[in-house]
Structure 1
Amino acid sequence: MNKKQKKMLKRIIVASILFIIIKVVKLPEYIEIPLFLVAYLEIGYDILLKAFKGIRNRQVFDENFLMAVATVGAIGLKSFDEATAVMLFYQIGEWFQSYAVGKSRKNITELMDIRPDYANVEDEDGNLEQVDPDEVEIGTIIVVKPGEKVAIDGIVIEGSSTLNTAALTGESLPREVSENDEVISGCINMTGLLKIKTTKEFGESTVSKILDLVENASSKKSRSEAFISRFARIYTPAVCYSALALFLLPPVFNLIMSNPADFGTWLYRALTFLVISCPCALVISIPLSFFAGIGGASNQGVLVKGSNYLEALASCKYVVFDKTGTMTQGVFEVAGIHHANIPEEKLLEYAAMAESYSTHPISKSLLKAYGNTIDKSRIENVEEISGHGVKAVIDGVQVLAGNDKLMKMYNIPYQECHSIGTIVHVAIDGKYAGHIVISDMLKPHAKEAIEALKKAGIKQTVMLTGDVKSVADKVASELHIDKVYSELLPQDKVNKVEELLSLKHSKENIAFVGDGINDAPVLSRADIGIAMGALGSDAAIEAADIVLMDDDPLKISKAIKIAKKCIHIVYENIYFAIGVKLICLLLGAIGIANMWVAIFADVGVMIIAVLNAIRALNVKNL
């Protein structure tokens, strides 16, 4: 508990003791009434003050105003015990709500407690100095000792160790790293000493981006939250005017009909009506449900950028995948070199040098197979042709390295290849030199992910790829993906998603899952963009609405289940809170419900709704 909560708890205890003493011990009226007023002011002075400030600032209609009018009116009717009880139970409900929200925030903060407090940097004498991560520049060597957090993204230049990535991915399985391996900030070093050369500034590192996503998630409100905000703005003044009408119209009508007016009875009913009508349960529990859902998802390594995306995901019926790096590991290996008109080693060297400026997995596999250091002075005029390949001048000769479309673009006759894999054709000075076959591996959980999505209610799975049809069809067949579109340029992927969007039902959403820079436009265009966060590009993560921190496609169905549970809880709270209030308002208006029923309709419903909302945190077994 924080100081404010502890102070309120003391006030609740003092007021409760006073209230019990007054109700149990029979005291003279001249002692009982002052004690009730002391208890009332002890527990309710801040509500009265807020109501007064609201009136002064012309922001009248809120729960403080409703409580103040109802309880002051009850005191005017000499119902001192009911006035004190209403204020006491209202404050107990508010304290409980504050404690519940604080606890859920603390849970989420602990789950996301990945921000490093310092980075170890060696000084000129070899001594370690702890500095603020914000002050560390790109290219600095930082030292991470066992038990410390990796402060900034970088590459291991010395040492080997085991990293705990649970705070980032939600998975307890540790990750082994050694020299030349990339590491991301937020991981905890478990065993050996590591020296890491930073590749990003702290503000651009993984841990900073994750914290920014979580902190800003609440700013993007769902339609349900927006509806509740609008509802409260209209509802509160409406019930205030209804209560005023309930107080005035029946007595005035009785006077017209020459019957006793009985203003006291109708004032009591109007005050009861006000207490019942307080919209706390809705205003508090709906945002809390989304907040808990986002927190529960974060615990599972699924970062949701806003409650609006969580709501959209719950209505997702179509999932569209990129292939490379999303459903496959993106770890390519050279499987063969065919129809080479020059020595195979020379063909591989030309292809590796031409692709050396690219970060695409295909390029990395060629460099790995080549195995030698690239002499960049031998390479000139590198031009990447989107969706086709690369053109470069190497040792004074023009080299083309790419797919069938690149060969067709330059009218170079090429040898077709029927091997399963990605084919890189190479042409030198306009003459075909041969091709290299590169194979990719499916991700371990890719097949399970498609099965889990269908069990989660997904109507159709689709795969979009720039790969040749034979490779795309084989992957789609192995994974049991419903539809596949191959040999697509980045713009073609956008067009395909546009086509799917035009065919779907208005209440059904399409999610696109990708990881590359060329996926950013599609991620932005789909109803929900889901990016692979661990190995995905910064552009894809920025464009996406949801980020999977461990690149596991199985987490997509998990995210959908979390979203559906969260939305289910939201609607439970809406129907329950509005239903109970409508019944109690009707009972209060006809005189059946008294202030004690009103207390339940306000505080009781709020506590039940808040408890229900917190269930959204529990998503581990979904």
Structure 2
Amino acid sequence: MSEAGVAAGPAPAEPGDPRFASAVRTRFHVAGMDCGSCAAKIDTAVRRIDGVKDVNAAIATSTLTVEHSATLPLTLIERQVKALGYGIQRDDVTAGEDGRAPDRDDARASSSWWRAPKVLLAASCAAALAVAYVVAEAAPGVGQWVMIPALAVGLVPIARRAVAAALAGSPFTIETLMSIAALGAVAIGATSEAATVVLLFLVGELLEGVAAGRARASIRDLARLVPRTALEEQSGGGTKEVAADVLRVGSTILVRPGDRIPADGDVLSGEGGVDEAPVTGESTPKTKVPGDAVFAGTVNLDGALRVKVTAAAEDNTIARVVRLVEEAQEAKAPTERVIERFARFYTPAVMIVALLVAVVPPLVFSASWSEWVYKGLATLLIGCPCALVISTPAAVAAGLSAGARRGLLLKGGAVLEQVGRVTVAAFDKTGTLSVGKPKVTDVLSFGRGERDVLSLSAALEEGSAHPLARAILAKAKETNVPVPPAGKITAVAGKGVTGIVGGVPLFLGSPQAASGRAPLTGEQVQAVETLNAAGASVAVLVAGDKVAGLIAMRDEPRPDAAAGIAALRQMGITSVMLTGDNERAAQAVATTLGIEARAELLPEDKQRVVRELQARGEVVVKVGDGINDAPGLAAADVGIAMGGGTDVALETADAAVLHGRVLDVARMVALSRRVMGNIRENVAIALGLKVVFLFTTLVGVTGLWPAILADTGATVLVTANALRLLSAKV
């Protein structure tokens, strides 16, 4: 394909266009793309290349994703971006000798910051301007002429970028405004001011890069939590240090005290405290025992752990968080799209206003040409839309990163905006409002001690994987009750289990099945009914021909469920439980939490209830963790999947609460509202400063220097304000 093809622009991509029958997607890293106008220029330029189907330039991740025909030479894309003054590198690096792909961000960080092109250009311009001022002081007669070379040092690269952008379809850029203003200043004899303004502009670009870099670093720091190496157990015995990202699912690794855990996995042996704060935000270390899950990036504090790897490096908890956040940051928020559309009309309008300021007073009122041309040039600089365009994406990127570091994942700016408008929260019960695992709540004995009842019941359930059996065994372990050996254990389908302990025949099962072996007294029947009314499932232990005791088990609310519901209530959000569980169990949990419950719902029923709420004008968030929640999650205005939920729920949902805390739903709403408030502040800063400096320029108080400071200062202030979200408590 020729260069002419690039300049001419592509033919429209019609449906069925054979060029895109096998379209591919390529991702690039772009150096220097630090603001909204930068991304817009690159987007417009690359779209003009024949063979390009779609483009996404993401400031937050400094990436350019291009969907294009398989036959398009990628050098055309790279050449087009470089012509605009940006560095570009394809995201297809190969692995090194250790099997690990080099870290692109580490490579960038290792290079000296002072050798960056923007730094070198600003430094050269500053040096040239300093020399020019010295010469002008020593020889005032040549001051005007020595300033022109100093101006050219900074202005020529800017003008070159302006021309390239104009040829690539973006004539109204900040570089264009700067070039016109600087050349106009020279024409009216304000060369020294023009040179200073160019220097201030270059310094402003540096500050924008620093601020944008801080936002990107927040998510890169999360990725760096995972260590580069791991101690993998070898089949022949012993361990070998290997690259962490070549570990396979099923590998066994040794994690020593003080080491970061290099992969997601399950503990095979060993016991110790693990600091999960880097991943979950939990301040208290968690004790891990065999069978417990551990996350990549967390710290093993004490005791060696043998861990079986359950996820490859690209699929571990940290990698998934980083990937989801990057994808979310690439998706533009509705407010961002509105502002970008506004900016497309705003910039040409500013140029027209500046032209009118420059020519109308001299032509109509016989005012001084030099004075009003000067004011027109200042108006041109004041009107730069950089701060306005960056106001939303900077806040959204910071908000998404802040949420991710606390286990709150939102799939894009649109979700981040919408969740703050929620009026009703519809929760699933099992695994969402409740722990999802039954727990023994009561042990009642008749003729035996409670410990004996629990001990004999645990003996019958030893080795069983049934959730109720696990609850009984967990209670026995928690209370240090001995579990004697049992013989002739037999499962009775749908009824319970039988066995012999110490020569005594035992049965543990439902009250109905137990009553066929030993009649229940009125007191015992009353106890069963009372426990059932509280939402508990009851197992009856029969020893010989008598009822020995009752064990009640219930799926208890999560420890923070009540606090989470209360926090939502304080925000003006009503909560409702939608569950497929029976009415009795649902009401027991709902009463504890003080919310309405709708029970015995099928998946389609949950979706129907969500639609009914929306028809009443409510903005609904659906929170769930199972496959049966997927229809409701998809139907809701915002769907939130609870951590530990099924892959279907996570894929269907718009957001995810990774650590399974109900309180995190309220925190997500609070984050959204804080981000939207930050955006409003940013827009006020961006437009407010322009209005103030426009007025002071027109009345003759300020000139070119304050004009460029107004633009650069507003951009830096807006970005700095957005970065406050990174450190704000969620």
Deviation at 1:335, TM superposition (A): 6.3
| 1:175 and 2:290 correspond | no
Aligned to 1:462: 576
Aligned to 2:386: 280
Q: Is the 8 A contact 2:222 2:318 kept in 1?
A: no
> What secondary structure, in the 3-state scheme, does the structure 2 residue paired with 1:329 have?
strand
Distance 1:193 1:146 in 2: 6
Distance 2:673 2:351 in 1: 35
Spell out, residue by residue over 1:276-312, the C-alpha distance to the aligned partner (whole angstroms, 9 max, x if none): 1101111223211111112222232322222222111
Aligned to 1:70: 181
Aligned residue runs from structure 1 range 92-491, under 5 A: 92-248=203-359, 251=362, 253-254=363-364, 260=366, 263-333=369-439, 365=471, 419=532, 420-421=534-535, 423=537, 438-455=553-570, 457-481=571-595, 483-491=596-604
| 1:521 and 2:635 correspond | no
Aligned to 1:341: none
Distance 1:605 1:180 in 2: 54
Distance 2:671 2:438 in 1: 33
Distance 2:712 2:352 in 1: 22
Q: Is the 8 A contact 2:535 2:586 kept in 1?
A: no
TM-score by length of structure 2 reads 0.68
Which one has more relative contact order, counting CA pairs under 8 Å at least 6 apart? 1
Aligned equivalent of 1:512, options 619, 622, 625: 622
Spell out, residue by residue over 1:508-558, the C-alpha distance to the aligned partner (whole angstroms, 9 max, x if none): x3222222232222222222222222x322222222222222212122222
| 1:532 and 2:638 correspond | no
Distance 1:520 1:425 in 2: 33
TM-score by length of structure 1 reads 0.79
Deviation at 1:137, TM superposition (A): 3.3
Q: CA 1:585 to 1:488, structure 2 compared with 1: closer, same or farther past 3 Å?
A: same
Aligned equivalent of 2:143, options 16, 25, 32: 32
Deviation at 1:337, TM superposition (A): 11
Q: CA 1:185 to 1:524, structure 2 compared with 1: closer, same or farther past 3 Å?
A: farther
Q: Is the 8 A contact 1:149 1:188 kept in 2?
A: yes
Q: Which amino acid aligns with 1:544?
A: A
Q: Is the 8 A contact 1:417 1:423 kept in 2?
A: no
Deviation at 1:99, TM superposition (A): 0.7
Q: Is the 8 A contact 1:118 1:151 kept in 2?
A: yes
Distance 1:603 1:31 in 2: 31
Distance 1:448 1:557 in 2: 10
Aligned to 1:569: 678
Deviation at 1:3, TM superposition (A): 4.3
Q: CA 1:366 to 1:232, structure 2 compared with 1: closer, same or farther past 3 Å?
A: farther
Q: Which amino acid aligns with 2:572?
A: I
Q: CA 1:134 to 1:417, structure 2 compared with 1: closer, same or farther past 3 Å?
A: farther
Q: CA 1:112 to 1:307, structure 2 compared with 1: closer, same or farther past 3 Å?
A: farther
Q: Is the 8 A contact 1:319 1:458 kept in 2?
A: no
> What secondary structure, in the 3-state scheme, does the structure 2 residue paired with 1:529 have?
strand
Aligned to 1:598: 707
> What secondary structure, in the 3-state scheme, does the structure 2 residue paired with 1:137 have?
coil
Deviation at 1:445, TM superposition (A): 1.5
Q: Is the 8 A contact 2:321 2:404 kept in 1?
A: no
Distance 1:571 1:467 in 2: 44
Deviation at 1:366, TM superposition (A): 8.6
Distance 1:577 1:490 in 2: 47
Deviation at 1:275, TM superposition (A): 0.5
Aligned to 1:559: 668
Q: Which amino acid aligns with 1:155?
A: D
Spell out, residue by residue over 1:148-171, the C-alpha distance to the aligned partner (whole angstroms, 9 max, x if none): 333333322221222221122122
Distance 1:219 1:283 in 2: 15
Q: Is the 8 A contact 2:211 2:716 kept in 1?
A: no
Q: CA 1:498 to 1:118, structure 2 compared with 1: closer, same or farther past 3 Å?
A: farther
Give percent identity, aligned residues only: 32
Deviation at 1:6, TM superposition (A): 5.3
Distance 2:668 2:573 in 1: 16
CA-based RMSD: 4.0
Q: Which amino acid aligns with 2:616?
A: L
Spell out, residue by residue over 1:43-73, the C-alpha distance to the aligned partner (whole angstroms, 9 max, x if none): 3443222112113323211111111111121
Q: CA 1:598 to 1:200, structure 2 compared with 1: closer, same or farther past 3 Å?
A: closer
Spell out, residue by residue over 1:102-137, the C-alpha distance to the aligned partner (whole angstroms, 9 max, x if none): 123223322453334234322233232334445433
Q: Is the 8 A contact 2:578 2:606 kept in 1?
A: yes
Q: Which amino acid aligns with 2:659?
A: D
Q: Is the 8 A contact 2:578 2:599 kept in 1?
A: yes
Q: Is the 8 A contact 1:515 1:536 kept in 2?
A: yes
Aligned to 1:412: none
Q: Is the 8 A contact 1:275 1:599 kept in 2?
A: yes
Q: CA 1:201 to 1:103, structure 2 compared with 1: closer, same or farther past 3 Å?
A: closer
Aligned to 1:499: 612
Distance 1:300 1:279 in 2: 33
Q: Is the 8 A contact 1:152 1:198 kept in 2?
A: yes
Q: Is the 8 A contact 1:171 1:301 kept in 2?
A: no
Deviation at 1:565, TM superposition (A): 1.4
Spell out, residue by residue over 1:234-274, the C-alpha distance to the aligned partner (whole angstroms, 9 max, x if none): 222222233344445555x54xxxx7585544432322221
Distance 1:468 1:280 in 2: 57
Distance 1:134 1:284 in 2: 35
> What secondary structure, in the 3-state scheme, does the structure 1 residue paired with 2:433 have?
coil
Spell out, residue by residue over 1:190-220, the C-alpha distance to the aligned partner (whole angstroms, 9 max, x if none): 2222222233444333232112112212112
Aligned equivalent of 1:82, options 193, 197, 201: 193
Deviation at 1:16, TM superposition (A): 4.1
> What secondary structure, in the 3-state scheme, does the structure 1 residue paired with 2:427 have?
strand
Q: CA 1:248 to 1:319, structure 2 compared with 1: closer, same or farther past 3 Å?
A: same
Q: CA 1:496 to 1:475, structure 2 compared with 1: closer, same or farther past 3 Å?
A: same
Aligned to 1:543: 652
Q: CA 1:152 to 1:528, structure 2 compared with 1: closer, same or farther past 3 Å?
A: same
> What secondary structure, in the 3-state scheme, does the structure 2 residue paired with 1:330 have?
strand
Distance 2:244 2:223 in 1: 17
Q: Which amino acid aligns with 1:550?
A: H
Q: CA 1:321 to 1:549, structure 2 compared with 1: closer, same or farther past 3 Å?
A: same
Q: Which amino acid aligns with 2:435?
A: Q
Distance 1:20 1:136 in 2: 57
Q: Which amino acid aligns with 2:563?
A: E
Q: CA 1:199 to 1:19, structure 2 compared with 1: closer, same or farther past 3 Å?
A: closer
> What secondary structure, in the 3-state scheme, does the structure 2 residue paired with 1:147 have?
coil
Q: Is the 8 A contact 1:113 1:167 kept in 2?
A: no
Distance 2:554 2:315 in 1: 33
